[in-house]
A and B are shown apart, each in its own frame.
Chain A
């Protein structure tokens, strides 16, 4: 399975599925004043890539809420989220390059958006090809991190990020 969109490509290994999406701009209510409407329209939407070893539900948060609830112990979830181009090279995004090798010891049950029994997570902000990203990985069973991390590395190795064109964010 191949994913492609918004300057991101991934050839998914067997057992993985994924999606690339971009959040819709907040739709202001009809009675919203012009100022708020203009401000809302100024929201920047940026691509979000979700990769999982299980079926992704349609209703899920950008960091996987709603999806991670469905994970079995042997499952893994990967979220690659892009940020605004103005964030490139800020201290938070100072690290260079999408990590291809992960340290299983870095995974922790406390490094999760929402602590879930047995799960372990890891989060990393970085700049790749002139674009700012966050990589967030959730393992179904933190006790089996060594094996599950290798599986995640396989899919990370397949991700390619094209250089920034200005089209990725708006």
Chain B
């Protein structure tokens, strides 16, 4: 048994078409070809193989016809494609202008739909000389045919030479508003193409890029291949933007600073998801915007910093008129805990994760932010609009509320304290307004209200004390004293007593107004009982029966 040389083994692992391209490329190279022309020839062969490998392998001489179509030579009399002579740009080169267009029906280069060819004619003030293009296979004429289709820029009189041809799969009057809609048709040019244009196997993204001008577009050159994105979408990156494709939207191009922000957020995998629109001008002419599945990005031209606005906030913003409404442009955004705060020129909106978009006043936001992150009074983001309760401002947050105090300032009250306070009616209830922000005490927190004080501890829950019992409790040192935190509210019992229990005892107000502070006895060992009585007094000495007489 003989072994094939290593190089041949590697060769065998490649596809037939790749090997054929290699060999034909070498054969085509011949002698005396520049590297550029050699690579051009290889590219044509490669494209031909991709289009129709069997036919091309059997008929290698048809490579140019496969890629560039019929009549691609200079002597054929047709005009070359712009990308062939314009450094790859599918745009009218400098010194030329769109002068007219024709339609090709059922084009294989536009997925079976109409393809449009737009002639770029020499500008009257420019000069150019008739020559042959030097494309890989598009050798057609440049600046030779003095001819005009006549549907574009009719403010320009006269007929000049056609410099080159732009192709699009989009409507010419959408491609250039200077073109009118009078249709001319020439299906005899159906096969015409160039190696710098997408072939018959083009994707939607390829065609979008073509219609934008290829490397002459605002996107610049491609920096990645076309890739699979999230949720069945596709995308491709370019020097200055991206093109995204979904069947629901078709191919959409986003570019510049807006695309950079989207990319930084995670692109199609970000909360914004895929674009729903391309970059569009805001009605006032002072900005740009792109709508996405999960929000929008706005760019006020003078700010140069695009602002992403998510989900419910964006919906509310747009319902209010967007950038041209009363709120103006977004000037700052902050993502926090899955939610977002967006500051607009005249308002701030906030949204907790999955929550509604609500307006939040600056001083409310400042009060919410005053609580240390991670503390029990870090209330998160607002979940309801600000309201007035009992004459005081109040806004509910994810984990509490911000409320006005008796002194007019705003304080954040978090967690269980807020819940208990609101259950009792908040500022409109019997306890009235807070007098200060919640404070930390030994083992818990305290919230002083006009008519009561709430104490909260992890073991005791939230307890409300007021009146005489609260006074006695404070006299006894409050939570830092021997009583510890309360384990009950103030309770009125049938015998007229008011009582409250604490971790370390109880306070009882008798009907006659007298006060008892009861200290909880700690559990004692049997041996301890011999030492003293339950109240700490000395144990009585045993008495004899004679002592009882």
Residues of chain A touching chain B, judged by Cβ–Cβ distance below 8 Å, are 23, 25-26, 28-29, 32-33, 36, 39-40, 42-46, 48, 59-63, 65-66, 81-84, 86-87, 90-94, 108, 110-116, 121, 123, 125, 134, 169
Are B171 and A39 in touch, CB under 8 angstroms?
yes
22 A-B interface contacts by CB (under 8 A): A23-B103, A23-B185, A25-B183, A29-B112, A32-B113, A44-B180, A46-B183, A61-B102, A62-B184, A63-B184, A65-B186, A65-B188, A66-B188, A84-B182, A91-B157, A110-B144, A111-B159, A115-B144, A123-B146, A123-B147, A125-B148, A125-B159
Point out the residue from B150, B182, B189 that lies within 8 Å of A169, measured CB to CB. Answer: B182
Do A123 and B159 contact each other (CB < 8 Å), given the known contacts A113-B147, A116-B77?
A: yes
B contacts with A: majority SS = loop
Chain B residue contacts of A108, Cβ below 8 A: 146
Closest residue of chain A to B112, judged by CB? Answer: A29
B269 within 8 A of A: no
Chain A residue contacts of B386, Cβ below 8 A: none
CB distance from A27 to the nearest CB of B (A): 8
Chain B residue contacts of A23, Cβ below 8 A: 103, 183-185
Chain A residue contacts of B144, Cβ below 8 A: 110, 115
A33 to B186, CA, bound (A): 25
| Residues 285 to 339 of chain B near chain A (Cβ within 8 Å) | none
Are A36 and B171 in touch, CB under 8 angstroms?
yes
Closest 6 CB pairs of A and B: A61-B186, A115-B77, A91-B157, A92-B154, A114-B77, A90-B154
Are B77 and A91 in touch, CB under 8 angstroms?
no
Interface membership of chain B positions 147-185, coded 1 if the CB is closer than 8 angstroms to chain A and 0 otherwise: 111110011111101000000000101100000111111
A94 to B145, CA, bound (A): 23
Are A40 and B171 in touch, CB under 8 angstroms?
yes
| Residues 91 to 121 of chain B near chain A (Cβ within 8 Å) | 102-103, 105, 112-114
Chain B residue contacts of A44, Cβ below 8 A: 180-183
A63 to B188, CA, bound (A): 11
Can you add 9 more A-B contacts, CB < 8 Å, to A59-B188, A62-B185, A94-B157? A40-B114, A63-B147, A63-B186, A83-B180, A90-B155, A111-B159, A112-B145, A115-B145, A134-B150
A111 to B162, CA, bound (A): 10
Point out the residue from A29, A39, A60, A110 that lies within 8 Å of B174, measured CB to CB. Answer: A39
Most interface-central of B157, B158, B171, B188 (chain A CB within 10 A): B188
Chain B residue contacts of A125, Cβ below 8 A: 148, 150, 159
Residues of chain B touching chain A, judged by Cβ–Cβ distance below 8 Å, are 76-78, 102-103, 105, 112-114, 130, 141, 144-151, 154-159, 161, 171, 173-174, 180-189, 250
Closest residue of chain A to B248, judged by CB? Answer: A33
Chain A residue contacts of B174, Cβ below 8 A: 39
Most interface-central of B102, B113, B182 (chain A CB within 10 A): B182
A25 to B181, CA, bound (A): 11
Do A28 and B113 contact each other (CB < 8 Å), given the known contacts A33-B250, A36-B171, A90-B154?
A: yes
Chain A residue contacts of B171, Cβ below 8 A: 36, 39-40
Chain B residue contacts of A46, Cβ below 8 A: 182-183
Closest residue of chain A to B152, judged by CB? Answer: A92
CB distance from B147 to the nearest CB of A (A): 5
CB distance from B107 to the nearest CB of A (A): 11
Do A91 and B154 contact each other (CB < 8 Å), given the known contacts A28-B113, A114-B78?
A: yes
Chain A residue contacts of B189, Cβ below 8 A: 61, 65
A169 to B151, CA, bound (A): 14
CB distance from A81 to the nearest CB of B (A): 7
CB distance from A117 to the nearest CB of B (A): 8
Chain B residue contacts of A42, Cβ below 8 A: 181
A29 to B105, CA, bound (A): 11
Chain B residue contacts of A45, Cβ below 8 A: 182-183
Chain A residue contacts of B103, Cβ below 8 A: 23, 26
Closest residue of chain A to B171, judged by CB? Answer: A39
A32 to B171, CA, bound (A): 13
Point out the residue from A39, A92, A94 that lies within 8 Å of B150, measured CB to CB. Answer: A92
Do A91 and B145 contact each other (CB < 8 Å), given the known contacts A44-B181, A86-B180?
A: no
Point out the residue from A25, A40, A112 that lies within 8 Å of B77, measured CB to CB. Answer: A112
Are B157 and A115 in touch, CB under 8 angstroms?
no
CB distance from A18 to the nearest CB of B (A): 18
